[in-house]
Amino acid sequence: MARAPSPRPRGPRTAFVLSGGGNQGVAQVGMLRALVERGIRPDVVIGTSVGALNGAAIATDPSLATVEAMEETWASLTGEALFPGGTLRRAWNLLRRDDHLISNEGLVALIERSQIVDRFEDLAVPLRVVAADLNSGDEMVFATGPLPPVLLASASLPGIYPPIRLGGAVLVDGAIVNLVPISHALAGPVDRIFVLDVSDPISDRPVRSPLDVVVRSVAISREQRFDLELRWVPDEIELVVLPAPDDNRDFLDFAGARALIDQALALAHRALDDHEVRPDRQRRRRWWKRRLD
């Protein structure tokens, strides 16, 4: 009797986690290219805010062709397309009794242009998307059902874009509750996690205005949450945080996309060659663990 062939050994179960970061999300395209070029394919993708948009694209088809299409999309983006109306129009909207400053038509058009599938179930790779519920303050994680409205919600900057009402929840940008949602990669079996973090680190510039105080306070809160996310990853899971290039552009500035993609690609390849990434945040993770032991 012939022996049945032995099953092929499967590779490590891999998660991609894509952070929020606004226009700095362009760097995630370079990181994704580095991973795809090395044959590293995700078994699950987790994204929040701009990371949800990029994550949905790669989960649709984790191929070099997809990354090249993402490069073209990012290279053609402009601040006016996503934040239309100009300063005077936005100032006028601020005086109106409304829940947003500008239309989300540009964001809707971006999602449509990206040719993302209609439902989570149609994706080639499972995807989890984080959004925030303004009613409850809860962190909402979506993995089934209609996809475009969830992506729109996850990237809807509160006060800037209108909230998205879905299933009784009033949803806004997922980065408000979880900027780098590593913990959701642990919801299923996983052996290694690649974190594509393009969020702003805490600045060491002096605080000079009330707005600076608000921005710094939010950054500290997000950083503390990220430290906790890192702390929750068991030691037996390989954790690789890909470094992002320095990006000092204004929030509305989408110029120089190709250069930033190339920089992120080079940094990611270097990190993967070293097979060990030790940015400040991972050093702090080890410090946390030593302190707890």
Mean of pLDDT over the chain: 83
Average pLDDT over every residue of 42-51: 97
pLDDT exceeds cutoff 50 at 263:
yes
Q: Are 133 and 140 in contact (CB under 8 A)?
A: yes
Give 202-254 pLDDT, tens digit per residue. Answer: 666 676 666 556 566 666 777 777 777 888 888 899 999 999 998 777 777 88
CA–CA separation, 290 vs 293, rounded Å? 5
pLDDT given at position 44: 98
Average pLDDT over every residue of 6-20: 78
Give 107-166 pLDDT, tens digit per residue. Answer: 999 998 887 899 999 999 999 999 999 999 999 999 999 999 999 999 998 888 999 999
pLDDT given at position 72: 96
pLDDT given at position 93: 54
> Comparing C-alpha atoms, which of 50, 45, 167, 28 is closest to residue 107?
50
CA–CA separation, 186 vs 226, rounded Å? 15
Can you tell me which residue has the tokens 């993967």? Answer: 272
pLDDT given at position 98: 61
